[in-house]
Structure formats: structure tokens, C-alpha cells
Amino acid sequence: MGVDNDAVRRLTDELKKLRQQLSDVEKALAEANQARERLQRFETAAANMQVGLTITDSGGTILYTNPAEAEMHGFAIEELLGTDVRVLAPPELHSPLKSGHKSALASWRRESVNIRKDGTRFAVHLTSDAVWDQVGEMVGFVTTCLDITEKKRAEERLKRSEAKYRGIVENAIHGIYRTDSEGKLVSANPALVAMLGYDTQDEVLGLDPKTEVYVDPAEYAWVSELYHDKERIEGAVVHWKRKDGTSITVRLNGRLLNSENGGPSGTEVFAEDITEQQELEAQVIHSQRIEVVGQLTGGIAHDFNNLLTVILASASMIEGALVDDNEPLRHDLHDLQVAARRGSALVKRLLGFSRRAMLALQPLDLTQAVKSFMATMQRLLPETIDVEVTGERHVPLVSADPNAVEQIVSNLVNNARDAMPKGGKLRVDTRVEHLDEAQKAKRGWGDPGEYVCLTVADTGVGMDQETVARIFEPFFTTKELGFGTGLGMSTVYGLIKQHRGFVEVSSEVGNGTIVRVYFRRADSPGAAFTVPRRAAEPVGGDESILIVEDEISIRRAATRVLERYGYSVHSVADGDEALAVLETRVDAFALVISDIVMPRVSGIELYQAMRANGIYKKFLFMSGYSAKDVRANVDLGKDVPFLQKPWTPNELLALVRDVLDDVV
């Protein structure tokens, strides 16, 4: 039986085809297994991703989404599969995807807003890439979604913080600035611009700090060294200059800024203008110094007044006992009395300087008073000085003590005279001036309001600024030894402060001096000024007087003066002895004259004890302390007269007579 070769050949070809098909199937199964494994790995990875993942077809239908995406939007995975991806976006962001725009949207990323199933919205960062098939057709999109809510909140907090910081810097009352590593200004807040007197920030940023901000470049170098050594400065006091050239004192607090590589990148500094503060501190220190010296002078004046009282009283008594032909001794006594009166005037100036003089403030026409004083003073000035006295008519009345005003004018005019040894021009003027807040800020003193200003100006030698700064210091004088006490301007300062006024001095070497004294307006109208009348020659009497004084020399002097003028005098050393005498001789005395400060029982205690025991005798206090000091510490009573030491016999006799006659 023969073999059909064609059949065998056909069978062989079929077997080959079957083997090839089997091989292709096996290959396809292997590829499918590999694809399945890849898909499983993808699904495992996608399921564990913290970022949402969505796969859609080209029309936006969700084909796949991972758990993070579904949970992020509040859905179950099954709810999202097969739905339009726009379910995850707010309605206002829905827009149909036109085929012509698909290629333009092949790949993009942006921040947007998505919506949860419950309608709440949250910020997201989306990244989308197109999926293409083998023939280049876009078949879908793969999109990742990241919830950036916390990031946005952090950015918002940072933005608010930056805005707040910027607001603090922009509205700060102190200057704040930054520099780069070369020291050039790179930022400056409005306060710094104003502090330096410029109009814009750009003007300030264009300055060279070393030469255009610092008065002394050496200070700039010093501050730079502080940064280099300590990386921080605290309370460094430097001197800057404003646009107009004026100098200001500035306190710096700052730190060195470092770059990422650790090197210095610049500085950040707070600058505080302390010019006015330093001036105020200087004024406080000056006032404290004057107060301390004032307390000292109060004690000195007490002892000095006791000595002068004895000298004046004794000299007067000796003079009265001299025979007419003893002219040389009479001249000596006259010189002694003149010296004692000069000492008394010096004590009064000390009390005026230390603000312890007892002033009798009253409504006063300052223009009229000054013109009256100057009518007398002009006769005492040399003819080489041209005097001009002017004043506004109908100026408001001021609250002032006429005697204190006379002393102020006298001191200022005498100083002006001494400043013009070869002659010159002296101008004395009174006029109304208004002080406002701006002037107060510039000068550092003066409550805003209306004042009457007394101006004394000369064309003399003038003073430098160092001298002007010390002009109110007690015992400071530019005059030669023996020609000045250094209390003239101190007295003016003390007296005007007691008037609650102000004094200002401006001067320049070679161009004279101008002194302005500001008096406050009186609260009530007053009578026109009249020159005080001098006391008439005193007379004596025959009444009995009890003198209570612990200083034996003063006790003896007062006794001799009163006895010479007919009075019957009994004297004791303190209040305790006086009470003992009054208990037995209560009706013997018409008047009690008592010192205030005494051992054991003081004059005040004596006065109070007498009133407590029903002894109402006429009473006269006297003391070496000023009346202001005494009344500030004890209650003398409004009706009890006071005699300030040093007194002259005439002053003692006149006041005693007035008290006995109920004149005071």
C-alpha cells in the first residue's frame, strides 16, 4: 500500500501550524500573566498611595480610582467607577472637554478646589497626564490629587504673619532697617525715613550710612566692630545727622544676619531717637542738682541769717550810742552794716535760687512793672549803653511777685551790663507769646498756651554753647574772681520756677545774648502795679514783751533794741522756760516773740500749748529759715505774723509795733 506523500506533507504542515499556534498561545499566556502581575503590582501600589489616583477614558468617565482618592472625597470606590470625573469638582468648575482641546491638555498641573460627597470643599493640587494608544490616539487620562488644605492654611497663617509683621514694621514708632553684607541699606520703615528727615524710602536707601547717616565715621566703624565681635548690639548710642544737617542721638539694638552658608548677609536693626529723652534727662539731673544744693542752702541760710541778725542789730545799737565827733568809727560801722546788708541780700538770692523764697503772687501788669523798675535801673547803667525799653500795650496780667520780678530784671540787666564793658545796646521788652505743641516738642519744655514774655537782649560778648549749658548752675560764673557770685542766673531760674514759668537763653560768641522769661497769665484781674512804699521810721512803746530764743546773741540783741525804744523785755532760751514764766505771769506780757526751731519745746509747740491752756497772747514768729520752708513743714496759722532773719532793728521795731496795734 503506497504512502500518500501529499497527505503526509499536508499533515506535517498542519502539525507545524498547531505547534506555532500553541507557541503563540503559550507566549500570549505568559504575556498575560506578566500583565496580570504588573496590574496587581500597580493596584497594590495605587491602593497604598497617600495621593489620590484616578484613571479616566478620553471622555472623563472614571475607569479606576484608588482608596486614597475615594476616601479623600468621601465616596466608596464602587460609587466612583463609571461616573463622570467632574463629580469631584464644584459645579462652577465643570466644563465640557472639546476634542480639539485634548492635545493641549495632554499634561498639566495646577492648584484647584475639589468637593466631597457631603458638599464641603477643600484645596487640592492636581497633576494630569494623557494616555495614548499604539496608533497615537488619546484614550484617557491619569490624574493624581493631593489634599493641600493644611498647606494652604499654613500659607495663610504665614501670609497673615507677614502682613502683621509688615504692619508692625510700617507703623512702628522707632526706625527699623536692614543692611546687606556691605553695609548698604536695603530696607527702611517710614519711622526711619521720618527720623532722618527725608520724604521717601528711596532717598534713605540711596544713602551711604558711613558718611551720610553717621556724624562721625568712626562711630560707624565702632558699630561694625560690635557686630563682628558679638553678632549683636544692645543699647549702642550713636549720633546721626538728618537731611537738614541737624544731629540726633540714636540708640541701636540689632543683630547680624547669616546666609545659608553661614557667612554674614547683613544686619537687622531697631533705631530709637533719644535726643529729646537725653535732653529731658539732663533737665531732670539739673533740677535734682539744684534741689540738693537748695536743701543745703536752706540750712546755710538759717545759720547765716542768725549771724547777720546779730551783726546788723549790734552795729545799729553801737551807731546809736556813738558821739557825734567819732566820725572814723561811724564810717567803720557804716561799712560793717553795708557788708551785713550785702550778706543779707546774698542770702535772699540763695533762697530765691533754691526756690525757698516766700513769694506773694498777685495779678501784675508786667509791662508797667518792668518800665517802673527800668526807670530806676537806667540811672545806674553807664552812658555807653543804649537802653531801649518797649512793651506791648494791654498785655494780660501775669501771676507774679513784684519784688521777685524786680530781682529777675535786676539780675538780667546787670548781667547784660557786665557783658558790654565797652558799651552796646540793651533791649528790654514785654509781649504776648503763644507756645504750641510743636514748640514744646522742639524745646522740651513749656505747657502750650498764652504767656507774657519778658525779653532782655544785649549786644555783648556772648557765650559759647558749653557756657550756655551751665548758665543756671549755682556758683557758676564767667566773671573774674571777686566780681560775681555765680547766683544771678540761678536765682532767675529758681524764681521763675516758683512762678511756674520758664526761662530760655540763646547766645553766640561775639553776637550777644537773649534771655526770654515766660510768665503765666493771672487767673483773676488785679489792680495796676504801684511801687511798694518803704516802711516809715519805727517808733517804740511801753508794753511788756517775752522773747523766746535759743541763740543767746540774738536774744540779747533783740532785748537791747526793744528796751532802747521803751519796751519792757523778759527773755528765755526755749519754749519750756516760756511756759513756766507764763504760768506765773500770764497777764504780764502783751506780746510773745519766739524763734521756731529750738531744743526741748519749739516755738510751734509753745504756740499750740498756749492756745491749749487758754493763753491768747499776741504772737510773732521769727526764724533763720525761709517762710516757705517753715510754712511747708508746720502750720503757723494764717493770722500769726512772721519775721524773717536777718532783721534790722528798724524792721523788728516796725513789725512789733504793727502787731501790738493790730495792724497785721
The 10s digit of each residue's pLDDT in 455-466 is 999 999 998 888
Share of the chain above pLDDT 70, in %: 80
- Residue with the bigger pLDDT between 338 and 382: it is 382
Question: What's residue 347's pLDDT?
Answer: 67
- Residue with the bigger pLDDT between 61 and 402: it is 61
In the predicted model, is pLDDT for residue 439 greater than 90? no
Question: What's residue 443's pLDDT?
Answer: 57
Question: What's residue 577's pLDDT?
Answer: 93
In the predicted model, is pLDDT for residue 362 greater than 90? no
Question: What's residue 589's pLDDT?
Answer: 93
CATH superfamily of 544-660: Response regulator (3.40.50.2300)
In the predicted model, is pLDDT for residue 198 greater than 90? yes
Cα separation of 505 and 495, whole Å?
15
159-192: pLDDT as tens digits: 887 677 666 667 778 888 999 988 899 988 998 9
Is residue 519 a contact partner of residue 401, using CB atoms and an 8 Å limit? Answer: no
Cα separation of 594 and 622, whole Å?
6
Rg for the chain, CA atoms, rounded? 51
Strand partners, 178: 187, 268
Q: CATH classification of 172-273, choosing from 1.10.40.30, 3.30.450.20, 3.40.50.970, 3.40.50.300?
A: 3.30.450.20
Buried b (16+ CB within 10 A) or exposed e, 407-427: bbbbbbbebbbbbbeeebebb
Cell of 528: 495796676
| Confidence band, pLDDT 50/70/90 cuts, at residue 123 | very high
pTM: 0.43
Computed over every residue of the chain, the mean pLDDT equals 81
In the predicted model, is pLDDT for residue 498 greater than 90? no
| Confidence band, pLDDT 50/70/90 cuts, at residue 131 | confident
Same CATH topology for 49-153 and 172-273: the answer is: yes
272-321: pLDDT as tens digits: 998 888 777 766 666 666 666 666 666 666 677 777 777 877 777 777 77
The CATH number assigned to the domain with range 49-153 reads 3.30.450.20
Question: What's residue 379's pLDDT?
Answer: 79
In this structure, the number of other CB atoms found within 10 A of the CB of residue 456 comes to 22
Question: What's residue 48's pLDDT?
Answer: 80
Question: What's residue 435's pLDDT?
Answer: 80
CA distances 529 to 400, 428, 440, 525, 586, Å, are: 11, 18, 31, 12, 45
Write down the architecture of domain 362-520 according to CATH: 2-Layer Sandwich (3.30)
Question: What's residue 619's pLDDT?
Answer: 92
| Confidence band, pLDDT 50/70/90 cuts, at residue 566 | very high
For residue 413, the one-letter residue type is V
Question: What's residue 119's pLDDT?
Answer: 92
* Residue-range domain boundaries for the chain: 1-45, 49-153, 172-273, 282-353, 362-520, 544-660
